Amino acid sequence: MNVLVWRSLIRYPHRCMCTVTGSSSQVSQPLNYVDGQRVDPKCTQTFDLREPATGKSLRYVASSNEEDVDTAVRSARREFKAWKKFSGFERGNVLKKAANIIRMRSEELARTEVLDTGKPIYEARMDIAGCADTIDYYGGMAAGISGEFLQLSNGNFNYTMREPLGVVGGIGAWNYPFQMATWKSSPALACGNTFVFKPSPFTPLTAVMLGEIYKEAGLPDGCYNVIQGEGETGALLGNHPDVNKMTFTGSVPTGTKVMEACAKGIKHVGLELGGKSPCIIFNDSNLDNAVSGAMMANFFTQGQVCSNGTRVFVQNSIMGPFLAKIVERTKNMKIGNPNHEDTKVGATISEEQALKVLAYVDIAKKEGASVLCGGERVVPDASLSGGYYISPCILVNCEDHMTVVKDEIFGSVMSVLGFDTEQEVISRANDTEFGLAAGVFTNDLKRAHRVASELEAGSLYVNNYNVYPVGVPFGGYKKSGLGRENGPEALDLFTQVKSVYVEMGDVEAPF
Ligand code: NAD
C-alpha cells in the first residue's frame, strides 16, 4: 500500500493498464459466494448499501442467517479435506495465478472499491496493487511451509509438521475491504485452511470478486466463501462450532465480543483493532519530510486508517514553521469526486461516521483546542450534494487529557501537541491504551533507534509513516490487537504444530 506501491506502479505501469469495466455491474449480482458460486442467501432481512460519494442507495443487500452461515462453513469444511492435501507448491501456484488476475482486473477492482468506500481512485489503485503483491508473496511462501527434524538418542527422532487449522472465519471493517479479504485469506489458504469471510456491511462488493478470481486461478469450490451481513451474521460466524480460527478487523468493543466467542469454543483468534498512534517530530528532522509524513499519517482514506498517527507531537522549537507548512499543504488537498484523477480527499464512509467526526471537532473546540484548517462539511459540487465530505482538519492548542487526543476518531482530524524533551515525549506517546503504530522523524540515527525501541507499538516508522511493503508484519500491542497479519508471522498463526516422536528400538516400559 501507499508510497512503496505507488513507486512500484510508476516502475511497472502495466500493473494498472487493464480493462476498465463498469463497477456498477458488480452491484446488481448476488453478493454471497458459497461453494464457488454467487448465491442469494435464504435470509429475507436486508440492509441498505449507500454510495459514500453521492449518499444514494445502490441496492438492498440480503443478510445471512444461521442457515446461510452454516451452509458456507459446511462447504469450507468439506473442501478442507482435499485442499490440505495439496502440496504447498500447488497451493502457491493457485495464489500466484490469482495475483496476476488481480493485476489484469485492477482497474475494475479499484473502481468498485471507490464505489463502496468513497476513497479516491489513486488510493484504491495503490490498495489493489498491494493486494496482488500480498497474494503473490504468500503464493511464493507456500512451498516453504515445513516442520523441523530433531535427532534424539539411540537413533530415535522427532519431527514436527506445520498443519492447517481447518476452517478460518474472517470479519472485516470498511476502510480497506479488498485488502482485508486478501490479507486474511491468502496466508490462510497458503497454509491449507479454507475460509469464510464476512465483509463490513458498508463494503460488500470486492470480497465476492476475489472469490471469482480465486476460482479462475484454480482454487477448488468451497475453499473461499463470502457471507454478507451485519453484526448478527458476524456473531453467528464467530460462534459456529465448526470454525477453528477467527481473524477479525474492527473496533475494540467488537473485537472483545469476537474474542469472547472464541474463548467459549477454545478457538484461535487474531484481532486487528483500533489505534491512537503518535507521530513524533524532532527539531532536527527534515521539515518537508516530516510534514509529508504527518499528512500521510492522517489523511489517507479520509482519515479512516487504523494505524494513523493522529497525535502529532512536534518539538516546540519548530512548531511555527511546521504548522505554516502543513496547514498550507493540507488546504491545497483537492476534495472531490473520488473517481477523478486529481482528487486527494474523497467521501467518508457514511452519514453517521461523518457526523461522528464533526462532533469530535466540536468537542475539541469546547475543550479548548483551536482549528487551524478544515473540520467542516463540504459539498464539492452539486452532483455530490448527498455525499459525506469533510475537509481535513488540523487542531492546535491540544492537551493530552482532551477527548480528541484520547479517542480514536477514525476521520481526518490531526491533533498537534508540543513537546520539549525526548523522555517527556516518549512517556506521553505511550500514555494510551492502544499500541498499533508510531512514527519518529529525526536525523539523529541513535535517537531514532532509541525512541523506536521505547515506543509501545506493533509498527514503527522511522522518517516515514503508513507504508506497508509486502512481507512486513502488521499488528498491535496493548488493546490494538493480538497476532500479526502479513509477513512470515501470519503463516505461524494459520498453522498448528504436530510433533511426531519415532522410536527406533524396543519399548523400555517401567512396568
Ligand atoms: P466494527 O467493530 O464496528 O465492525 C467490524 C466488523 O465487525 C463489521 O464487519 C461488523 O459487521 C462486524 N461485527 C459487528 N458486531 C459484531 C459481533 N457482535 N460479532 C462479530 N462481528 C461483528 O468496526 P468498523 O466501524 O467496521 O471499523 C472501524 C474500526 O476498525 C476502527 O476501530 C479501526 O481502527 C479498526 N480497524 C483496524 C485495523 C487494523 O488492522 N488494526 C484495520 C482497519 C480498521
Percent of the chain whose pLDDT exceeds 90: 94
The predicted structure's pLDDT at residue 2:
44
Atom of ligand 1 nearest to the CA of 198: 9
State the distance from the centre of ligand 1 to the C-alpha of 148, rounded, in angstroms. Answer: 37
pLDDT digits (tens, 9 = 90+) for 11-66: 333 333 333 444 667 888 999 999 999 999 998 899 999 999 999 999 999 999 99
Question: Does ligand 1 have an atom closer than 6 angstroms to the CB of 170?
Answer: no
Q: In this predicted structure, what is the pLDDT of residue 12?
A: 34
Beta bridge partners of 248: 171, 271
User: Which numbered atom of ligand 1 lies nearest the CA of 306?
Assistant: 34
pLDDT at 306 over 80: yes
pLDDT computed for residue 26 by the predictor:
82
Give the per-residue pLDDT at 7.
39
How far, in Å, is the centroid of ligand 1 from the Cα of 376? 25
User: In the prediction, which pLDDT does 418 show?
Assistant: 98
Q: What is the reported pLDDT for 23?
A: 65
Return the ligand 1 atom nearest residue 275 CA. Answer: 34
pLDDT of residue 8: 39
Reported as a single tens digit per residue, the pLDDT across 395-452 is 999 999 999 999 999 999 999 999 999 999 999 999 999 999 999 999 999 999 999 9
Nearest to 489 by CA among 450, 459, 449, 461: 459
pLDDT the model gives residue 440 = 98
SS (H, E, C) 222-273: CCEEECCCCHHHHHHHHHCCCCCEEEEECCHHHHHHHHHHHHHHCCEEEEEC
pLDDT number for residue 275: 98
pLDDT tens track for 459-482: 999 999 999 999 999 999 999 999
Cell of 315: 518539538
pTM: 0.94
Catalytic hit among 79, 113, 123, 272: 272
Distance 112 CA to ligand 1 centre (A): 21
Maximal CA-CA distance, the chain: 88
CA nearest neighbour of 132 among 114, 112, 111, 107: 107
Is the beta carbon of 250 within 6 A of some atom in ligand 1? yes
Give long-range contacts, CB 8 A cutoff, 24+ apart: 9-12. Answer: 9/125, 9/126, 9/129
- The finding on whether 165 has its CB within 6 A of some atom of ligand 1 is no
The stretch 107-127 carries a mean pLDDT of 98
**What tens digit of pLDDT does each residue of 175-222 get?**
999 999 999 999 999 999 999 999 999 999 999 999 999 999 999 999
Neighbours of 257 (CB within 10 A): 17
Mean pLDDT of 87-109: 98
Q: Is the CB of 173 under 6 A from ligand 1?
A: yes
pLDDT at position 117 over 70: yes
Grid cell in block for residue 274: 483500533
Please tell me the distance from the alpha carbon of residue 64 to that of residue 58, in angstroms, as a whole number.
Answer: 19
